[in-house]
Structure 1
Amino acid sequence: MNDIDWRADIERAAQRLAAHRGAYLRETPLWKLSPDAFGLSTAEGVEVWLKLEHLQIAGSFKARGMMNRLLANDIPAAGVVVASGGNAGIATAAAARALGVRCEVFLPGVSPEAKRARLRALGAEVTVVGEAYADALAACLARQRESGALLTHAYDQPEVVAGAGTLGREIEGQGGLPDSVLVSVGGGGLIGGLAAWFGQRSRVVALEPERAPTLFRARAAGEPVDVEVGGVAADSLGAKRIGEHAWAITQREVRDALLLSDDAIRAAQVWLWKEMKLAVEPAAALPLAALQTGAYVPRAGEKVCLIVCGANVDPATLA
């Protein structure tokens, strides 16, 4: 696992995905704003970048990794199968529809109805099983063994991590190199890809809900461990354990792993809607919450990039 040339894999992923820009993928906007736009009091010269990946066609960064996984493999007649809190399933279903193949998605009971409806609209066969992501994954693996379908993992396959890493490549191409990148962590596919791309050139900061601390607990234990998960972001940050690829990458490249309360996450989510009219899911609000609470304090002159990672949310919950 440590001998993977991640930057080369990310470049290959970008080449594969380039053919699907417009129909399945889009280059998402990068906003560069003053901290004043967020009501933040920071050190002099700080610039806040918002990478609006929630505007991705499939509604989250997952589109990159899921399509890369499908393009990099032969897809059997049984199609593809995935377990997901929602976003990876939506991205896989959208990729499968774009390629004309069958898709089956296993969801946990915690997944919101808005995500289930989106999956059905994309033509996926949806099965809801258990309460947590781990329950859905167990059922998905059993189904894959039975059907022979291509398994797309929500976060812990090299093609998925490399696909997520194309987001970092895109940020650098749009705006140059940020000093820091604040990113939410569930199973770790996104932070794995971003940390693999940026390495030590930017400070990548891991952000987790207090009630779903997969990376934080792994660091305390010295290895990936199972954790209890819950809270406002459990549908998308509800992995029970940090992925092996993300664990290896973050051990080398990520120094900081910070925890945020559900109240802080929810407040940032509502603020993004009310003040900027950005309708995002709780997982996408952790980077702003880190700035609003002072969990992360930028240095003078710092260019800090907030990854706004997903928008698969029921707008009625933002009132």
Structure 2
Amino acid sequence: MVTRSDVEAAQQRISGHIRRTPVLELPPGTVAGAAKVWLKLEQLQLTGSFKARGAFNRVVSGIAAGQADDVGVVAASGGNAGLAVACAATRWNLPARVYVPETAPEVKVAKLEKLGAEVVRTGRKYAEAYEAAVADASESGALFCHAYDQPEICAGQGTLGTELLEQTGGELDTILLAVGGGGLMAGVAAATESSARVVGVEPRTIPTLGSALEAGGPVEVDVSGVAADSLGASRIGGIAHEVAVRTGVESVLVEDSDIVAAREHLWSEYRLVVEHGTASAMAALLSGAYRPSEGERVAVVLCGANTDLADLG
């Protein structure tokens, strides 16, 4: 379980180590019905994604508990979580070993290596990299950093929600954010419980949250589509499911074509470079998959920028 108090503790713990990312208020009338629309520019976070928040909270907590020593840290990641863990480890001069699937984008692998992490490629899917990382941590004694399903990770991600409430003066009704494994959703929903509702946006090809809500618990889903590199978890985390049920998080599905169009729109209109997974949240608004009610105040979280620039016009 993750609560607002956990997020507040994480905020104190990582203050001064991560960036307070800005918000951009869009011109009135940009989205039909909405009174205000903000974009939370979390792609400007350390290592290019929100993952730094949870990784720093996990590593700092581990150091305080005497769990992170010369053996260092281990993670499994399609890219962004590994980058965040490697960055946090570097801050405290700890070795980092990151297991990635063979399909991990080269741009992310190159950044991992630049941060000094040892990169181990294994398997075609995240689940295989995860199993190898867990076995490594068990054998080596390294601090294991889950990509999305650890209390410290979720609470750290939730600091984005606390920050967003402050930046919008509390005048916020709805937060749209992309969902893969659900760590960001869990943290933000816990942080904003009773203040703003959270809508989880997913590619129709990877409905981890929607399937879990329908089944009454996390279930395996097939992983495919344009956003699979960053939203490629095959099931939502247990913490995320619990928080989603407790706080009433909804699931909205978007098509791959709408994700591509939203990413291109963010670049052409605002010169914002984001990943396809990140663009899912914006796709919900632009495609009409999510329609704000009259006067609704909406924030869209743009949570990652580690993408190939070659296919942006």
SS at match of 2:231: coil
The one-letter code sitting in structure 1 at the alignment partner of 2:99 is: F
Closer/same/farther in 2, CA of residues 124 and 293 from structure 1, 3 Å limit: same
Corresponding residue for residue 17 of structure 1: 14
Q: Is the 8 A contact 1:206 1:254 kept in 2?
A: no
2:246 equivalent to 1:252: yes
Deviation at 1:36? 4.4
2:267 equivalent to 1:270: no
**Counterpart among 162, 170, 173 of residue 155 in structure 2:** 162
2:203 equivalent to 1:203: no
2:298 equivalent to 1:309: no
Q: Is the 8 A contact 1:280 1:312 kept in 2?
A: yes
Q: Is the 8 A contact 1:46 1:299 kept in 2?
A: no
d(CA) in 2 for partners of 1:228, 1:237? 12
Corresponding residue for residue 25 of structure 2: 32
Corresponding residue for residue 184 of structure 1: 178
The one-letter code sitting in structure 2 at the alignment partner of 1:182 is: L
Corresponding residue for residue 36 of structure 2: 47
d(CA) in 2 for partners of 1:298, 1:213? 22
Q: CA RMSD in A?
A: 1.2
Q: Is the 8 A contact 2:75 2:144 kept in 1?
A: yes
2:105 equivalent to 1:108: no
- Kindly report structure 1 stretches of 4+ aligned residues shifted beyond 3 Å: none
Corresponding residue for residue 291 of structure 1: 285
C-alpha distance after superposition, 1:121-151 (max 9, x if no partner)? 0000001111111011011111111211000
C-alpha distance after superposition, 1:47-105 (max 9, x if no partner)? 11000000002100000000000001131221000001100000000111111100000
d(CA) in 1 for partners of 2:293, 2:235? 32
Give unmatched runs, 5+ long, in structure 1. none
SS at match of 1:72: helix
**Counterpart among 230, 240, 263 of residue 236 in structure 1:** 230
Deviation at 1:200? 3.2
d(CA) in 2 for partners of 1:13, 1:129? 32
Q: Is the 8 A contact 2:213 2:241 kept in 1?
A: no
SS at match of 2:48: coil
d(CA) in 2 for partners of 1:97, 1:278? 28
Corresponding residue for residue 261 of structure 1: 255
d(CA) in 1 for partners of 2:266, 2:180? 21
C-alpha distance after superposition, 1:11-46 (max 9, x if no partner)? 1111111132xxxx2110111112545xx4x12x62
The one-letter code sitting in structure 1 at the alignment partner of 2:115 is: L
Corresponding residue for residue 221 of structure 1: 215
Q: Is the 8 A contact 2:99 2:121 kept in 1?
A: yes
The one-letter code sitting in structure 2 at the alignment partner of 1:11 is: E
Q: Which moved more, 1:59-68 or 1:128-137?
A: 128-137
Deviation at 1:110? 2.2
Q: Is the 8 A contact 1:107 1:133 kept in 2?
A: yes
Q: Is the 8 A contact 1:80 1:103 kept in 2?
A: yes
Q: Is the 8 A contact 2:189 2:249 kept in 1?
A: no
Deviation at 1:204? 0.7
Give unmatched runs, 5+ long, in structure 2. none
d(CA) in 2 for partners of 1:127, 1:276? 36
2:124 equivalent to 1:127: no
d(CA) in 1 for partners of 2:248, 2:207? 15
Name the % identity.
Answer: 49
The TM-score, its normalising length taken from structure 1, stands at: 0.94
SS at match of 1:50: strand
SS at match of 2:98: strand
**Counterpart among 63, 71, 79 of residue 60 in structure 2:** 71
2:47 equivalent to 1:58: yes
d(CA) in 2 for partners of 1:29, 1:173? 11
Corresponding residue for residue 117 of structure 1: 110
SS at match of 1:269: helix
The TM-score, its normalising length taken from structure 2, stands at: 0.96
Closer/same/farther in 2, CA of residues 35 and 236 from structure 1, 3 Å limit: farther
Q: Is the 8 A contact 1:165 1:193 kept in 2?
A: yes
